Amino acid sequence: MTATKKNIVNIFLLSALAFFSFLMLRIMVLYIPVQTDVAFLQLKQPYIHITEWRIAFFIHVFSSILALLAGFTQFSKDFLKKYPKLHRKLGYVYVVNILMVTGPAGLLMSFYANGGITSRIGFVLLSVLWISTTAIALYKAVKKQFTAHRIFMIRSFALTLSAITLRIWKVVLANYTDIPPMDRYRMIAWLGWTLNLLVAEWIIWRTITRINADYTNQRR
Protein backbone atom coordinates (compact mmCIF):
# COMPACT_ATOMS: atom_id res chain seq x y z
CA MET A 1 0.00 0.00 0.00
CA THR A 2 1.40 3.40 -0.99
CA ALA A 3 1.86 6.17 1.57
CA THR A 4 -1.02 8.17 0.04
CA LYS A 5 -3.45 5.25 0.17
CA LYS A 6 -2.34 4.46 3.70
CA ASN A 7 -3.03 8.03 4.80
CA ILE A 8 -6.46 7.97 3.15
CA VAL A 9 -7.32 4.70 4.91
CA ASN A 10 -6.12 6.08 8.26
CA ILE A 11 -8.16 9.27 7.83
CA PHE A 12 -11.25 7.23 6.91
CA LEU A 13 -10.84 4.91 9.91
CA LEU A 14 -10.26 7.79 12.32
CA SER A 15 -13.28 9.63 10.93
CA ALA A 16 -15.43 6.52 11.30
CA LEU A 17 -14.19 6.02 14.86
CA ALA A 18 -14.94 9.65 15.74
CA PHE A 19 -18.43 9.45 14.22
CA PHE A 20 -19.45 6.22 15.91
CA SER A 21 -17.85 7.25 19.21
CA PHE A 22 -19.97 10.40 19.05
CA LEU A 23 -23.08 8.27 18.53
CA MET A 24 -22.10 6.06 21.48
CA LEU A 25 -21.58 9.15 23.64
CA ARG A 26 -25.04 10.40 22.67
CA ILE A 27 -26.50 7.12 23.91
CA MET A 28 -24.56 7.41 27.19
CA VAL A 29 -25.77 10.97 27.78
CA LEU A 30 -29.39 9.78 27.71
CA TYR A 31 -28.76 7.97 31.00
CA ILE A 32 -27.05 10.88 32.80
CA PRO A 33 -28.10 11.39 35.53
CA VAL A 34 -29.00 7.74 36.02
CA GLN A 35 -32.56 7.20 34.87
CA THR A 36 -34.55 3.99 34.54
CA ASP A 37 -37.35 4.98 32.18
CA VAL A 38 -35.63 6.47 29.13
CA ALA A 39 -34.53 5.19 25.71
CA PHE A 40 -33.83 1.43 25.65
CA LEU A 41 -34.91 1.05 29.27
CA GLN A 42 -38.48 1.80 28.28
CA LEU A 43 -38.48 -1.67 26.73
CA LYS A 44 -36.92 -3.27 29.80
CA GLN A 45 -39.36 -2.24 32.51
CA PRO A 46 -40.16 -5.88 33.42
CA TYR A 47 -36.47 -6.31 34.42
CA ILE A 48 -35.59 -2.87 35.79
CA HIS A 49 -36.42 -3.94 39.34
CA ILE A 50 -33.80 -6.75 39.18
CA THR A 51 -30.82 -5.20 40.93
CA GLU A 52 -28.07 -7.22 39.22
CA TRP A 53 -29.53 -6.59 35.76
CA ARG A 54 -29.88 -2.86 36.43
CA ILE A 55 -26.28 -2.59 37.67
CA ALA A 56 -24.99 -4.64 34.74
CA PHE A 57 -26.85 -2.42 32.28
CA PHE A 58 -25.35 0.83 33.52
CA ILE A 59 -21.88 -0.71 33.79
CA HIS A 60 -22.17 -1.89 30.19
CA VAL A 61 -23.47 1.45 28.91
CA PHE A 62 -20.75 3.54 30.55
CA SER A 63 -17.78 1.22 30.01
CA SER A 64 -18.26 -0.25 26.52
CA ILE A 65 -17.03 2.89 24.75
CA LEU A 66 -13.71 2.51 26.57
CA ALA A 67 -13.23 -0.91 24.96
CA LEU A 68 -14.04 0.59 21.57
CA LEU A 69 -11.53 3.44 21.87
CA ALA A 70 -8.73 1.44 23.51
CA GLY A 71 -9.16 -1.45 21.08
CA PHE A 72 -8.91 0.79 18.05
CA THR A 73 -5.34 1.81 18.99
CA GLN A 74 -4.11 -1.78 18.96
CA PHE A 75 -4.00 -2.27 15.18
CA SER A 76 -1.77 0.59 14.07
CA LYS A 77 1.80 -0.53 13.36
CA ASP A 78 2.95 3.10 13.36
CA PHE A 79 1.39 3.64 16.79
CA LEU A 80 3.06 0.46 18.08
CA LYS A 81 6.47 1.52 16.79
CA LYS A 82 6.25 5.10 18.09
CA TYR A 83 4.51 4.43 21.40
CA PRO A 84 5.12 0.79 22.43
CA LYS A 85 4.54 1.45 26.14
CA LEU A 86 1.30 3.30 25.50
CA HIS A 87 0.24 0.50 23.14
CA ARG A 88 0.70 -2.05 25.94
CA LYS A 89 -1.06 0.12 28.54
CA LEU A 90 -4.06 0.71 26.31
CA GLY A 91 -4.06 -2.99 25.47
CA TYR A 92 -4.33 -3.84 29.16
CA VAL A 93 -7.10 -1.25 29.56
CA TYR A 94 -8.96 -2.98 26.73
CA VAL A 95 -8.41 -6.47 28.15
CA VAL A 96 -9.23 -5.64 31.77
CA ASN A 97 -12.33 -3.72 30.73
CA ILE A 98 -13.69 -6.67 28.74
CA LEU A 99 -12.65 -9.47 31.10
CA MET A 100 -13.63 -7.82 34.38
CA VAL A 101 -16.14 -5.05 33.63
CA THR A 102 -18.18 -4.71 30.47
CA GLY A 103 -17.87 -8.34 29.30
CA PRO A 104 -19.38 -9.92 32.44
CA ALA A 105 -22.01 -7.17 32.54
CA GLY A 106 -22.97 -7.91 28.94
CA LEU A 107 -23.12 -11.63 29.65
CA LEU A 108 -25.50 -11.14 32.56
CA MET A 109 -27.71 -8.89 30.44
CA SER A 110 -27.80 -11.53 27.71
CA PHE A 111 -29.92 -13.83 29.84
CA TYR A 112 -32.65 -11.16 29.95
CA ALA A 113 -32.57 -10.16 26.26
CA ASN A 114 -35.84 -9.34 24.51
CA GLY A 115 -37.05 -11.75 21.84
CA GLY A 116 -37.00 -14.95 23.86
CA ILE A 117 -34.58 -17.86 23.66
CA THR A 118 -33.40 -17.05 20.12
CA SER A 119 -32.11 -13.61 21.08
CA ARG A 120 -30.73 -14.81 24.39
CA ILE A 121 -28.65 -17.56 22.79
CA GLY A 122 -27.30 -15.05 20.27
CA PHE A 123 -26.25 -12.52 22.90
CA VAL A 124 -24.88 -15.17 25.27
CA LEU A 125 -22.69 -16.56 22.48
CA LEU A 126 -21.54 -13.03 21.64
CA SER A 127 -20.54 -12.38 25.25
CA VAL A 128 -18.81 -15.74 25.74
CA LEU A 129 -16.84 -15.41 22.49
CA TRP A 130 -15.96 -11.79 23.28
CA ILE A 131 -14.57 -12.66 26.70
CA SER A 132 -12.81 -15.85 25.55
CA THR A 133 -11.11 -14.37 22.45
CA THR A 134 -9.89 -11.45 24.57
CA ALA A 135 -8.55 -13.80 27.26
CA ILE A 136 -6.73 -15.89 24.65
CA ALA A 137 -5.27 -12.74 23.07
CA LEU A 138 -3.89 -11.73 26.48
CA TYR A 139 -2.46 -15.21 27.07
CA LYS A 140 -0.74 -15.18 23.67
CA ALA A 141 0.77 -11.75 24.38
CA VAL A 142 2.11 -12.90 27.75
CA LYS A 143 3.66 -15.93 26.01
CA LYS A 144 5.13 -13.55 23.37
CA GLN A 145 3.28 -15.38 20.60
CA PHE A 146 2.54 -12.10 18.88
CA THR A 147 1.14 -13.42 15.60
CA ALA A 148 -1.42 -15.50 17.49
CA HIS A 149 -2.03 -12.52 19.80
CA ARG A 150 -2.87 -10.32 16.83
CA ILE A 151 -5.18 -12.96 15.35
CA PHE A 152 -7.24 -13.23 18.53
CA MET A 153 -7.25 -9.46 18.99
CA ILE A 154 -8.77 -9.15 15.52
CA ARG A 155 -11.52 -11.57 16.56
CA SER A 156 -12.01 -9.80 19.88
CA PHE A 157 -12.26 -6.34 18.33
CA ALA A 158 -14.64 -7.61 15.64
CA LEU A 159 -16.95 -8.58 18.50
CA THR A 160 -16.35 -5.25 20.24
CA LEU A 161 -17.57 -3.54 17.07
CA SER A 162 -20.90 -5.33 17.45
CA ALA A 163 -21.86 -2.38 19.66
CA ILE A 164 -21.84 -0.36 16.44
CA THR A 165 -22.91 -2.89 13.83
CA LEU A 166 -26.00 -4.06 15.70
CA ARG A 167 -27.21 -0.46 15.76
CA ILE A 168 -26.52 -0.12 12.04
CA TRP A 169 -28.55 -3.26 11.39
CA LYS A 170 -31.30 -1.88 13.61
CA VAL A 171 -31.56 1.26 11.45
CA VAL A 172 -31.37 -0.68 8.17
CA LEU A 173 -34.02 -3.23 9.11
CA ALA A 174 -36.32 -0.61 10.64
CA ASN A 175 -36.21 1.71 7.63
CA TYR A 176 -35.91 -0.67 4.69
CA THR A 177 -37.94 -3.74 5.68
CA ASP A 178 -41.42 -4.52 6.97
CA ILE A 179 -40.18 -7.08 9.48
CA PRO A 180 -42.02 -6.80 12.83
CA PRO A 181 -40.00 -5.12 15.63
CA MET A 182 -39.46 -8.21 17.76
CA ASP A 183 -38.45 -10.32 14.77
CA ARG A 184 -35.98 -7.59 13.83
CA TYR A 185 -34.53 -7.75 17.32
CA ARG A 186 -34.06 -11.52 17.04
CA MET A 187 -32.23 -11.04 13.74
CA ILE A 188 -30.05 -8.26 15.14
CA ALA A 189 -29.03 -10.50 18.04
CA TRP A 190 -27.17 -12.62 15.44
CA LEU A 191 -26.45 -10.25 12.53
CA GLY A 192 -24.81 -7.76 14.89
CA TRP A 193 -21.77 -9.99 15.42
CA THR A 194 -21.70 -13.05 13.14
CA LEU A 195 -20.91 -11.06 10.00
CA ASN A 196 -18.24 -9.18 11.95
CA LEU A 197 -16.54 -12.49 12.71
CA LEU A 198 -16.71 -13.55 9.07
CA VAL A 199 -14.95 -10.33 8.07
CA ALA A 200 -12.42 -10.90 10.86
CA GLU A 201 -11.66 -14.40 9.58
CA TRP A 202 -11.11 -13.00 6.09
CA ILE A 203 -8.67 -10.42 7.49
CA ILE A 204 -6.90 -13.16 9.45
CA TRP A 205 -6.63 -15.32 6.32
CA ARG A 206 -5.12 -12.37 4.44
CA THR A 207 -2.71 -11.71 7.32
CA ILE A 208 -1.53 -15.33 7.51
CA THR A 209 -1.18 -15.52 3.73
CA ARG A 210 0.99 -12.40 3.74
CA ILE A 211 3.14 -13.68 6.62
CA ASN A 212 3.68 -17.01 4.85
CA ALA A 213 4.57 -15.22 1.61
CA ASP A 214 7.09 -13.00 3.39
CA TYR A 215 8.64 -16.03 5.10
CA THR A 216 8.91 -17.90 1.78
CA ASN A 217 10.53 -14.91 0.10
CA GLN A 218 13.05 -14.55 2.93
CA ARG A 219 14.15 -18.17 2.52
CA ARG A 220 14.79 -17.87 -1.20
pLDDT given for residue 41 in this prediction: 72
Percent of the chain predicted with pLDDT > 90:
42
Q: 76-127 pLDDT, tens per residue?
A: 777 778 888 888 888 899 999 999 999 999 999 999 988 889 999 999 999 9
pLDDT given for residue 21 in this prediction: 74
- Inter-residue contact 77 to 113 (CB < 8 Å): no
pTM of the predicted model, to two decimals?
0.86
**How many Å separate Cα 169 from the centre of its chain?**
15
pLDDT at residue 131 greater than cutoff 80: yes
What is the chain's mean pLDDT, rounded?
Answer: 84
Scored b (16 or more CB within 10 A) or e, 172-197 reads ebeeeeeeeeeebbbbbbbbbbeebb
Which among 192, 168, 195, 164 is positioned nearest to 64, based on CA atoms? 164
Alpha carbons 94 and 68: distance in angstroms, whole number: 8
Residue 162 pLDDT class (50, 70, 90 cuts): very high
Lowest mean pLDDT segment, chosen from 33-47, 57-71, 120-134: 33-47
3-state secondary structure of 70: helix
